[in-house]
Amino acid sequence: MKRSTSGGSATAAGAAAADPSADVALAKMGYASELPRNLSMMSVLGMSFAIMAVPFGLSTTLYITLTDGQSVTILWGWVLVSLISLSIAASLAEICAVYPTAGGVYYWSAMLSTRKYAPVASWVTGWLTLVGNWTVTLSINFSGGQLILSAITLWKEDFVPNQYQTILMFWAVMIVCMLVNVFGAKHLDLINKVCIYWTAASVVVILVTLLSMADTRRSGEFVFAHYDASESGWPSGWAFFVGLLQAAYTLTGYGMVASMCEEVQNPEREVPKAIVLSVAAAGVTGVIYLLGILFVLPDVKMLLDVANGQPIGLLFKTVTGSAGGGFGLLFLLLGILFFAGVGALTAASRCTYAFARDGAIPGSRIWKKVDKRFDIPLMALLLSTAVDCLLGLIYFGSSAAFNSFTGVATICLSTSYGMPILISVLRGRKAVQHSSFSLGRFGYAINIAMIFWIVLAVVLFCMPVSLPVEAASMNYASVVFAGFALISLAWYFVRGRKDFTGPPVPTDVRPGEQVEVAGLAVRDSRAERNGDVEGVGSLKKI
């Protein structure tokens, strides 16, 4: 696989003038700089924060924790998963500082592996990442469509949207997000920054409104210590772990922004910071938001009986005492939906583009093209949109389709994050020992603990939210996961095993030669790699 090591467009050439070291580092990793570097650290942080969309994500999955434990699961489950996610984010940031490329975890798995296993490691990680990006985008926009329709029930309580109405609304949300990504591509930096302020302001407005207008408030004992999993059907202790899906799903998308590395100046420094800071900010935001919700929480049985499956609108209406007040607060969440949907689709399209660039997707020649009019991978964006729209049709077969989307998104992204971490541990963490974002002496302990959590998460998030289970209420996460696994396996035997060699490895670096490029680990040439791909990165500027 040949890859130019010079700028791929006039736009890239202009960006190189502002940040030449990033393009040189990218060329050393085997890729031409084809995308403009017009995003800042705050923009990437905003995108990561937007994809996690804390108030929106927690609100649209509230029924999970109300079923599986209520206050203890809602609040302490969030705190637990926030700490776990922060550790995973730090582990990824450590690797990202060494290999800042749009391939993200897919590229990292290849470069951390031996020559023998690099192709299969990158293939498996790449497909997990790709499916995770697609299904996170799908779940965000599908729940957004449901939330928009739930607004109607604020005035017409007996309204229950049918399957066609839900699918059409979901498609409308997807199309809006796609159009913003196409025609607003030059403004993504601003959009991502605005998201931070909109989310912070929304949390403040929602909490002040709810706490000031509530007729009754819950006690501190209820907020911090109440546990009731009787609605779940699961054993009491196990219900708590099943309920962690709410927090794990919300705090999943931070690793997706690694695919934006080729659109950021000084990515080896800025993107790792954005990944970690976004998770920390999301964790704090979630605690504040959940405390406010729990102190004014209405009758749980009433919330769980809501026909549309989205109780947050009814919660707002009950506490404020009016449909108008409920919609006003719901509108703030819908604004967060806009930022989340746009950001997730942006990341998914860049992930698709990066994976297609190495020939790992059927029709890669089409999906890897960068449209010069908009300076975006337009075909990859269209493919991501089309795949999500088609996957949404699962709703016709399962009323609990959203459970499947959230489950498979969490499973795929979590396992894709775990792959490079696992490989790094197995190789003695030598490639990251000189990372500019090093975990130091705690690296082994943090990495190993996170691997065990990810294994547990795969089991947990295939579970249905409650028992007993019928065909219509089944969590089909494992089925969707297995379906994509079969597609990946089939394409590997058709094309991958013959032609796929993983990401390009620089051919201009001799074994043992040190290259002083910011954030770039030293590697052997593709032809001469002997299985010892250990980074000895230098942080010295060229």
Instruction: Give the model confidence (pLDDT) of 369-418 as tens digits.
Output: 999 999 999 999 999 999 999 999 988 877 777 778 888 899 999 999 99
Q: How far apart are CA 52 and CA 344, in angstroms?
A: 9
Q: What is the pLDDT of residue 521?
A: 38
Summarised one tens digit per residue, pLDDT across range 18-68 is 556 777 777 776 667 777 777 788 888 888 888 899 999 999 999 999 999
One of 1.20.1740.10, 3.40.190.10, 1.20.1070.10, 3.40.640.10 is the CATH number of 39-499, namely 1.20.1740.10
Summarised one tens digit per residue, pLDDT across range 324-361 is 999 999 999 999 999 999 999 998 998 899 889 888 88
3-state secondary structure of 158: coil
Higher pLDDT, 289 or 186: 289
DSSP H helices in 184-215: 188-213
Mean pLDDT is highest, among 30-34, 186-190, 205-209, 535-539, for 205-209
pLDDT at 299 over 90: yes
Q: What is the largest CA-CA distance in the chain?
A: 72
Mean of per-residue pLDDT scores for the chain: 84
With cut-offs at 50, 70 and 90, classify the pLDDT of residue 507: very low
CA angle 109, 112, 115 (to 5 degrees): 95
Residue holding tokens 């998963």? Answer: 81
Supply 272's token pair.
Answer: 């790792």
Summarised one tens digit per residue, pLDDT across range 244-285 is 999 999 998 888 788 778 788 888 888 999 999 999 999 999
> What global pTM score does this model have?
0.84
3-state secondary structure of 398: coil
Supply 306's token pair.
Answer: 């809501």
With cut-offs at 50, 70 and 90, classify the pLDDT of residue 539: very low
Q: How far apart are CA 93 and CA 105, in angstroms?
A: 11
Q: What is the pLDDT of residue 537?
A: 37
Summarised one tens digit per residue, pLDDT across range 213-237 is 999 999 999 999 999 999 999 998 9
Rounded (to 5) percent helix, strand, coil in the chain: 70, 0, 30
pLDDT at 490 over 50: yes
Higher pLDDT, 160 or 289: 289
Q: How far apart are CA 384 and CA 351, in angstroms?
A: 10
Q: How far apart are CA 311 and CA 326, in angstroms?
A: 11
Q: Which of 451, 455, 421 is nearest to 94 (CA)?
A: 421
